[in-house]
Structure 1
Amino acid sequence: MSKNIQQMVRLDRREALKAAGAGVLALGFATTAHATPEAAAEALSKATGGASATASDKVSISLPEIAENGATVPVGVVVDSPMTPDNYVKHIHVFAEGNPSPETISFHLTPTGKADVNTRIRLGKTQNVVVAAVMSDGSVLTGTKEVKVTIGGCGG
């Protein structure tokens, strides 16, 4: 290669490395947008067809008070319902107020069995988890529980 071509290649490589370094720095300083309680309320309204929700002790949420690993937080929901063809839980929706998207998971139920579901969800930070149970008569019962997500399991 001639000396001029080598200099061009070297400069191009340097410029590429500079650009890559700037990109890495930009990614390091970028923040992930999180939902707000208002966004979670809007998602709840959309999922329930705009029905008004009522806080109820019939909705029991099982969550750890402190989650050492936000990537896999166990959550259980039990709704006190007779689960008969005339009175049952049609849907259970789970929302996380501080995740990038508040919609976490939805369960669709039939009158047979129990209104008892368990799963694992990802939580990005300490936040409220809101559960909405849509009943067969169209009413919506809700429950809320806060879970503290530690950073690296060190209580941060």
Structure 2
Amino acid sequence: MQRRNFLTLLLGVATSLLVAPLSALAAVWNKAAFETPKLDVAIKSLDVVDEVVSQDILIIALDKAENGAIVQVEIKSNIANTESISILVEKNPTPLIAHFKFSNGAEPFVITRIKMAETSDVKVVVKAGAQYFTNAKNVIVLENGCG
């Protein structure tokens, strides 16, 4: 009987250890920003104020994407003390595609593949300190990727 109680206790502890990180992740998840269909609401949900256009944000993506289901985007921020990079596509069903946070000393560089519903700007918002910077690149989508 003691062995059964021990195994039950061990299973309970293991479950708690697995669920705790998921709870922490849920606390960081900005559900409102990711689920809104409007670009301005997504930006507001990220607490972005007074964006400044900056050429120090490099966006590398094809000018024409054959298939909107797979659009590779490479982003590099040359802005000192970059804390986060957000990727938005206005003409998508949900414009906020990704939001990356960086620890002190981490290189603010991201390569990812995104889906694009149609031709639109890929907008990048970088947070550095209390300031927000932005840049955008237009990508022509030849075949719809969100369907």
Normalising by structure 2, what TM-score? 0.69
State the SS of the aligned residue for 2:55. coil
Separation in 2 of the partners of 1:151 and 1:102? Answer: 18
Shifted more, 116-125 versus 106-115: the winner is 106-115
Number of paired residues?
Answer: 108
State the SS of the aligned residue for 1:44. helix
Counterpart position of 2:91: 98
Q: Shift of residue 45 of structure 1?
A: 2.4
* 1:1-150 equivalences in 2 (<5 Å): 39-47=38-46, 49-82=47-80, 88-135=81-128, 137-150=129-142
Separation in 1 of the partners of 2:76 and 2:55? Answer: 10
Computing the radius of gyration from Cα coordinates, the structure with the larger value is: 1
Q: Shift of residue 40 of structure 1?
A: 1.4
Separation in 2 of the partners of 1:41 and 1:60? Answer: 22
Counterpart position of 2:28: none
Give per-residue Cα distances to partners, 1:3-31, cap 9 Å, x unaligned.
Answer: xxxxxxxxxxxxxxxxxxxxxxxxxxxxx
Q: Shift of residue 147 of structure 1?
A: 0.2
CA-based RMSD:
1.4
Q: Which residues of structure 2 form unaligned runs of 5+?
A: 1-36
Give per-residue Cα distances to partners, 1:24-69, cap 9 Å, x unaligned.
Answer: xxxxxxxxxxx5xxx213311221x142111111111111000001
Q: Shift of residue 89 of structure 1?
A: 0.9
Q: Is the 8 A contact 2:125 2:135 kept in 1?
A: yes
Q: Which residues of structure 1 form unaligned runs of 5+?
A: 1-34, 83-87
Separation in 2 of the partners of 1:142 and 1:81? Answer: 11
Q: Is the 8 A contact 2:62 2:139 kept in 1?
A: yes
State the SS of the aligned residue for 1:69. coil
Normalising by structure 1, what TM-score? 0.65
Q: Is the 8 A contact 2:88 2:98 kept in 1?
A: yes
Q: Is the 8 A contact 2:48 2:132 kept in 1?
A: no
